[in-house]
């Protein structure tokens, strides 16, 4: 077995090769950031179960592999990509294959005039002012090892800048496809989304596997929601069952802003999501919802943090898990209400259904309240399908399988119905039906 | 004969509740099963519907000549048994309409009939809704969730009307109903009565039987039917209370 520090060294050792292939970029400010990040990375250790934030998530299976940086993207044709589109949904579309932006598979023409939307590598090369202002500002490469790794090897991702008063009603579908051939590959999708005052945006961050190969996706998304701006975010993860997916989303919210995020995941071998949002000013609204469906020996870990750093903000969080086989689920939801954050409303709930005898969930809701005039609640449940309800449905002539399917759909629907786009809802419903109807 | 129960014994968690039930029900008949609390009335209803928690330890049950005890709960329903629950179950996230549409079509499939499309189904349930004076709004709401007690019971009768069972078992459908709701429920049952189907009314009170007139009344006591008679038996019970049964048949005391 490979030792952990050996893996650390491995990811440091491939930096030289990476640097050589950058031709010409090595003097740019972004590359200075990369160099600092690889240095930070080399100082950090991969977490173990002894770290409180990783208590229930053992990543040693991830550290058994020496993943290589993808050198180029495998050829993917349009029909292949169409499999991952949401049945005729009108949208702008960005496609990345193994981390590389594919211009010919993407279509962003309809919104190009209104907003800035391009691959982040291009924005970095152009030294875009917003990159200077926001990039890597909401994450901490010096403390978060996977973020350090992401920053060190930053290649591509979506860069979206929405100026003041611009409303984009058509969703932007950002698709990240992955597949390993001879080498097991690692990609670092890196997204930056900036919305200015009074703007509105709908984005779908979609991660999918082209096959069942073993690969590692280490994604980082930074989102800044401007004053009175609205951002609806959906993340869908339907990757290879032997893939590894580590993701961080950091959102900062301006005055009277609204941010909603709905995360739907079918997991990989190990999936870890750190979703954090912070109210930087008063009057904000935030909704974080998630649904994960896992089986066999999959591990899914959702870590969320809602930071009520300002008064008069509302947050609502609902995470649900459906677990089968020997799978393990983790929910760790922290809500911090800081001293000045009076009149905070924070609601958090986590419910899990376990379909087998061997699946396991660790759920840890945490409220840290330092203000005294707030309304906060949280709750967590772990249970099985309701036998009374099951019998009731069967007594109406509905078969065992179908009855279970109906109850699972109903359990999931509390999260699914919060997604704003019908075509995506249909997609999720189909996933549910396919998963539980065999 | 539609239903034939022979020496039925059933227990839950090792405790015997039914201790040898014998009962025959023909098409076109209404049977009332009465008895004090804990006598086994609801257990009998649940066992007939196929509730897995109850273990049948002895005896036989034939429905339309088939061995009922061999059938899964859903197949019993598909063969034509319907249980109106004493405590209808709330199912958040599942709309009444969707549940019923799935149920109707699963039953039709089982019987080799063509499934209803959305239009046909809607037309069919609209006529049934009138029968139990059910508001349209209740259809799209989640099954029994947030319904009042009366709405829950009316919803059971509505489902019965939609599923058109051969044998309906009403498990204390009258309990907790005000007189208006009771009339609506009874009216629904009476309108659905035909020479081809039968009803077993399980009740604690004689009151319901003023509205649903039984052909036979059976008194269940300590897991056995200790007395059977015509509708006048119900009146006698009402007048004298269940104690007179005990005196009359000392062996069961």
- Residues B104-152 pLDDT 10s: 999 999 999 999 999 999 999 998 988 888 888 888 899 999 999 989 9
Q: B203 and B147 in contact (C-beta within 8 Å)?
A: no
pLDDT confidence tier of residue B37, bands split at 50, 70 and 90: confident
pLDDT at A271: 98
Q: B124 and B116 in contact (C-beta within 8 Å)?
A: yes
pLDDT at B61: 98
Contacts of A414 in chain B (CB under 8 A): 92-93
Q: B61 and B25 in contact (C-beta within 8 Å)?
A: no
Looking at residue A53, the DSSP 8-state letter turns out to be G
Contacts of A398 in chain B (CB under 8 A): 74, 99, 102-103, 106
Contacts of B163 in chain A (CB under 8 A): 396-397
Q: B50 and chain A: CB distance < 8 Å anywhere?
A: yes
Question: pLDDT for A33-77, tens place per residue?
Answer: 899 999 999 999 999 999 999 999 999 999 999 999 988 888 899
**For B101, phi and psi rounded to 5 degrees?**
-65, -45
Question: pLDDT for B85-114, tens place per residue?
Answer: 999 999 999 999 999 999 999 999 999 999
pLDDT at A379: 94
Q: B102 and chain A: CB distance < 8 Å anywhere?
A: yes
Q: Which residue out of B86, B89, B155 would a mutagenesis test of the A interface target, given it has the greatest number of A Cβ atoms within 10 Å?
A: B89
From the centroid of its chain, how far is CA B42?
9
pLDDT confidence tier of residue B18, bands split at 50, 70 and 90: very high
User: CA nearest A76: which of A48, A49, A40, A104?
Assistant: A104
Dist. CA B36–CA B40, nearest whole Å: 9
Instruction: Write out chain A's pLDDT in tens, 438 residues.
Output: 455 588 999 999 999 988 888 777 777 778 888 999 999 999 999 999 999 999 999 999 999 999 999 888 888 999 999 999 998 899 999 999 999 999 999 999 999 999 999 999 999 889 899 999 999 999 998 999 999 999 999 989 999 999 999 999 999 999 999 999 888 999 999 999 999 999 999 999 999 999 999 999 999 999 999 999 999 999 999 999 999 999 999 999 999 999 999 999 999 999 999 999 999 999 999 999 999 999 999 999 999 999 999 999 999 999 999 999 999 999 999 999 999 999 999 999 999 999 999 999 999 999 999 999 999 999 999 999 999 999 999 999 999 999 999 999 999 999 999 998 999 999 998 888 888 765
Q: Is the pLDDT at B169 greater than 90, yes or no?
A: yes
ipTM: 0.95
Sign of CA dihedral A57, A61, A65, A70: negative
Dist. CA B237–CA B249, nearest whole Å: 14
User: CA nearest A360: which of A305, A297, A270?
Assistant: A297
Q: Which two tokens stand for residue A284?
A: 């904000």
Q: A197 and A226 in contact (C-beta within 8 Å)?
A: yes
Distance (Å) from the alpha carbon of A399 to chain B's nearest alpha carbon: 6
Question: pLDDT for B182-191, tens place per residue?
Answer: 998 899 899 9
User: CA nearest B197: which of B35, B31, B16, B27?
Assistant: B27
Q: Do A392 and B103 touch (CB under 8 A)?
A: no
Q: Do the bridges between strand A190-195 and strand A299-308 make them parallel or antiparallel, or are there none, so unpaired?
A: unpaired
Dist. CA A424–CA A430, nearest whole Å: 10
pLDDT at A125: 87
Tokens 């932006």 map to which residue? A101
pTM: 0.88
Q: Do B103 and A398 touch (CB under 8 A)?
A: yes
Q: Do A396 and B92 touch (CB under 8 A)?
A: no
What is the average pLDDT score of chain B?
A: 92
Size of interface A-B (CB pairs under 8 A): 76
Q: Is the pLDDT at B247 greater than 70, yes or no?
A: no
User: CA nearest B138: which of B94, B95, B99?
Assistant: B95
| Contact residues, chain A to chain B, C-beta under 8 Å | 386, 388-389, 391-400, 402-403, 406-407, 409-411, 413-414
Q: Do the bridges between strand A285-294 and strand A314-323 make them parallel or antiparallel, or are there none, so unpaired?
A: parallel
Identify the helix (H) or strand (E) that includes residue A61.
helix A60-63
**For B72, phi and psi rounded to 5 degrees?**
-70, 155
Which 3 state secondary structure label does DSSP give B85? Answer: coil
Dist. CA A357–CA B196, nearest whole Å: 45
pLDDT at B241: 80
pLDDT at B248: 55
Contacts of A395 in chain B (CB under 8 A): 49-50, 73-74, 76-77, 82-83, 85
Dist. CA B90–CA B93, nearest whole Å: 10
Tokens 């190990």 map to which residue? A270
First to last CA, chain A: 37
pLDDT at A21: 81
Question: Which chain A residue has the Cα nearest residue B100?
Answer: A396
Tokens 């090769």 map to which residue? A17
**For A19, phi and psi rounded to 5 degrees?**
-60, -40
Residue A26 CB contacts under 8 Å (≥ 6 apart), including other chains: A19
């Amino acid at each position: 077995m490979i030792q952990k520090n050996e893996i650390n060294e491995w990811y440091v050792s491939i930096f030289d090769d990476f640097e050589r292939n950058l031709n010409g970029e090595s003097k740019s400010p972004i590359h200075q950031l990369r160099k600092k990040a690889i240095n930070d990375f080399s100082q950090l250790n991969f977490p173990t179960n002894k770290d409180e934030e990783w208590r229930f998530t053992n990543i040693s299976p991830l550290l058994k592999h020496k993943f290589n940086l993808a050198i180029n993207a495998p050829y993917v044709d349009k029909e292949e990509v169409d499999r991952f589109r949401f049945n005729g949904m009108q949208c702008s579309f960005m496609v990345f294959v193994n981390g590389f932006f594919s211009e010919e598979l993407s279509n962003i023409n309809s919104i190009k005039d209104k907003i800035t939307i391009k691959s982040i590598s291009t924005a970095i090369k152009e030294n875009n002012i917003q990159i200077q202002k926001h990039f890597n500002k909401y994450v901490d490469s010096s403390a978060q090892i996977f973020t350090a790794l992401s920053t060190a090897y930053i290649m591509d991702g979506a860069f979206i800048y929405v100026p003041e008063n611009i409303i984009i009603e058509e969703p932007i579908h950002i698709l990240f496809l992955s597949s390993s051939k001879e080498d097991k590959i690692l990609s670092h999708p890196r997204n930056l989304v900036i919305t200015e005052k009074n703007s509105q945006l709908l984005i779908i961050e979609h991660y999918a596997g082209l096959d069942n190969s073993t690969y590692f996706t280490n994604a980082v998304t930074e989102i800044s929601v401007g004053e009175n701006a609205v951002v609806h975010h959906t993340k869908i993860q339907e990757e290879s069952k032997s893939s590894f997916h580590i993701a961080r989303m950091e959102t900062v919210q301006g005055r009277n802003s609204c941010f909603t995020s709905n995360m739907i995941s079918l997991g990989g071998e190990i999936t870890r999501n750190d979703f954090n949002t912070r109210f930087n000013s008063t009057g904000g609204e935030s909704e974080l919802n998630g649904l994960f469906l896992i089986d066999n020996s999959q591990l899914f870990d959702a870590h969320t943090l809602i930071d009520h750093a300002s008064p008069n903000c509302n947050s609502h969080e609902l995470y649900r898990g459906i677990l089968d086989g020997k799978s393990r689920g983790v929910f760790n939801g922290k809500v911090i209400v800081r001293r000045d954050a009076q009149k905070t409303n924070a609601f958090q709930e986590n419910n899990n259904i376990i379909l087998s005898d061997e699946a396991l969930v660790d759920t840890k809701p945490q409220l840290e309240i330092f203000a005294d005039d707030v309304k906060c609640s949280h709750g967590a449940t772990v249970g099985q399908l309701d036998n009374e309800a099951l019998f009731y449905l069967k007594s109406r002539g509905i078969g065992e399988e179908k009855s279970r399917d109906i109850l699972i759909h109903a359990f999931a629907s509390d999260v699914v119905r919060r997604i704003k786009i019908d075509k995506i809802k249909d997609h999720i419903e189909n996933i549910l039906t396919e998963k539980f109807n065999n | 004969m539609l239903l034939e129960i022979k020496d039925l014994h059933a227990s839950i968690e090792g405790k015997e509740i039914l201790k040898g039930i014998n009962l025959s029900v023909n098409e076109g008949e209404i049977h009332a099963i009465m008895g004090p609390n804990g006598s086994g009335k609801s257990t009998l209803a649940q066992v007939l519907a196929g509730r897995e928690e109850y273990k049948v330890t002895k005896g036989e049950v034939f429905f339309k000549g088939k061995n009922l005890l061999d059938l899964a709960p859903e197949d019993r329903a598909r063969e034509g048994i319907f249980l109106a629950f004493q405590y209808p179950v709330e199912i958040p996230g599942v709309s009444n309409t969707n549940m019923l549409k799935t149920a109707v079509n699963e039953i039709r499939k089982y019987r080799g009939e063509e499934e209803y499309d959305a239009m046909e189904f809607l037309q069919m349930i609209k006529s049934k809704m009138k029968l139990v004076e059910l508001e349209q709004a209740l259809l799209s709401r989640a099954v029994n969730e947030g319904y009042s007690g009366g709405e829950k019971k009316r919803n059971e009768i509505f489902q019965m009307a939609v599923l058109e069972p051969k044998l309906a078992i009403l498990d204390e459908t009258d309990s907790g109903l005000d007189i208006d709701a009771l009339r609506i429920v009874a009216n629904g049952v009476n309108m659905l009565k035909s020479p081809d189907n039968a009803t077993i009314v399980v009740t604690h009170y004689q009151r319901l039987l003023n509205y649903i007139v039984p052909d036979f009344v059976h008194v269940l006591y300590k897991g056995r039917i200790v007395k059977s008679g015509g509708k006048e038996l119900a009146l006698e019970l009402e007048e004298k209370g269940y104690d007179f049964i005990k005196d009359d048949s000392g062996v069961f005391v």
